[in-house]
Structure 1
């Protein structure tokens, strides 16, 4: 797979007040982002420093424009090899419950509200397995109307066995605002990461610009 060399300094979209004498946390440095293309079949990966990871996509058809994909991320169970353990994702809401399934919101496909993507990268110089969730900030406006967007970036992390956690979790690294107002979450993602939309979109028909 061709690796895409770029460098992003990721800063939180919300600046938190810190007591005097406390330095602001250093933003993670992410380089060598290589998107992982997920089609309609499970994809098995071997991230550095982790057991085998399988991403299984599902489609939830609603008979209208509000169908959506679900993604289950699993690792083999250490004690029961014939079973798989779900990898949880940290909730977007602070102190919210962990999420065991990931969902997008493609709507018609031309005006996606939320998209889900995976990638390998280097985080502060070390190999990392990342999850990108790009979301348009709709507010009260109609779905096709262009809107601001933000991207949440998570890193696969081994947990310490605390109750209520899985063995591995996608922990939030950073949230960045997209520099463009757009009708499609992936266009916002590409603008934020400088990775071409068609690369993120994988086998799906690319929508590089909003309908005029």
Structure 2
């Protein structure tokens, strides 16, 4: 269960870290947690501020295919797939792969690229709608922390159930009290977060055997 940064090829996000330090509007948080139009395509204070395909996931997809040695016919699941941009780019990076996505947002799934229509499902990561051992690789990027602690454990166990061994998750964390303060000022949707040691304890409790990395806001 090693730490590995498979998202290192993503462009670094430039955030106005002073934007939310005066306190978040509870109504903004409420609407953001609905994961609908406000969150994806509304004003920046609600979330992405416009979530559009720009090709940034292409090098990440190539790194994932190479790292896990994915071959034609293998099945991949992207949990928390949003509009399916990584699903689209995994299909391009690994011709012959069977790639699917799942997201809690009906809005996101309905606004996916045409290349992935029919490959995305609406559902909750705490109860994946797939049989045991369905996928050769399961990805969950920046989604597990949107559950409460017990829900995060259930989600990680579900990843183990539907996968065949290979998995990769990225979750919100921080290394210092200063980073934690910045995170708490910025975050809108996370229900559970912790220092790395706390996450590793949770992984062990869940029996999670896959790979992982942290999202650190700085």
TM-score (normalizing by structure 1): 0.26
More helix by share: 2
More strand by share: 1
The structure number with the bigger radius of gyration is 1
